[in-house]
Homo-oligomer: A and B are copies of this chain.
Amino acid sequence: MTIKRLPSYFRVLDELTKEDVEIVSSTEMGRRTGFSSEQIRKDLAYFGAFGTRGVGYNVSVLRRRIRSILGLDRTLPVALVGAGNLGRALAHYNRNQQQHMRITHIFDINEEIIDRPVAGIQVQDAREMGRIVADTGIKMAIVAVPREAAQKTVDLLAQSGVKAVLNFAPVRVDAPEEVVVKSVDLTSEMQSLAYYCR
């Protein structure tokens, strides 16, 4: 709900920081994010009132606050499971993007790519994943394995202490209540868009 929109606000606040803007109104944030100004005020008020009536929001204060709410004030280590086409693309993408979260471990079962580097990270044997993830205390994982392997992968990750999973396998996966799974199914997205192509 609100959490889903915070990253948009965060991105806009980054833009505004680069533009040396110090104060921003909910209306201007709305113009840049596509959400309504009331929505934005409600969202921000939900975590405590950060604005000044008659003035607006202090960009740097609000940015830091959202960063802290999202837990991005410390760089978050991420495990990537599956180094096929999609997994490798995600690894490269992540390397070129962010500082707030970084893929630090990559796992696969394919003998041919184990020990080889992908985006500067050595691929590790997926059979050791449980131990390594638990030992390093990794809390977030990206699953880019074939659909048949997805449920077992998520089971193992959950068991190893992972709290959030971004799943790219086109299948529904169950997880214990304390683990959040967000699925991105590219085939489904495209199929639903096909509806609008007549």
Please give the distance in Å from A105's CB to the nearest CB on chain B. 15
Please give the distance in Å from A183's CB to the nearest CB on chain B. 10
The answer to whether B182 and A193 touch across the interface, beta carbons within 8 angstroms, is yes
- A34 in complex: contacting residue of B172, B182, B189, CB < 8 Å: B172
The answer to whether B90 and A186 touch across the interface, beta carbons within 8 angstroms, is yes
Compute how far the CA of A198 lies from the CA of B11 in the bound complex, rounded to whole angstroms. Answer: 21
Interface readout for A179-195 with B: 1 if CB under 8 Å, 0 if not?
01010111111111111
Please give the distance in Å from A74's CB to the nearest CB on chain B. 10
Compute how far the CA of A198 lies from the CA of B76 in the bound complex, rounded to whole angstroms. Answer: 10
Does A109 count as interface, using CB distance less than 8 angstroms? no
- A189 in complex: contacting residue of B182, B187, B194, CB < 8 Å: B182
Does A55 count as interface, using CB distance less than 8 angstroms? no
Smallest Cβ-Cβ distance to A6: which chain B residue: B192
Does A58 count as interface, using CB distance less than 8 angstroms? no
Q: Which residues of B contact A92 (CB under 8 A)?
A: 85
Please give the distance in Å from A32's CB to the nearest CB on chain B. 7
Smallest Cβ-Cβ distance to A165: which chain B residue: B193
23 contacts between A and B (CB under 8 A): A4-B192, A6-B192, A8-B172, A8-B188, A11-B170, A33-B172, A34-B172, A70-B192, A70-B194, A71-B194, A71-B195, A71-B197, A71-B198, A72-B191, A76-B194, A85-B93, A89-B90, A100-B194, A101-B191, A142-B190, A166-B186, A166-B193, A180-B196
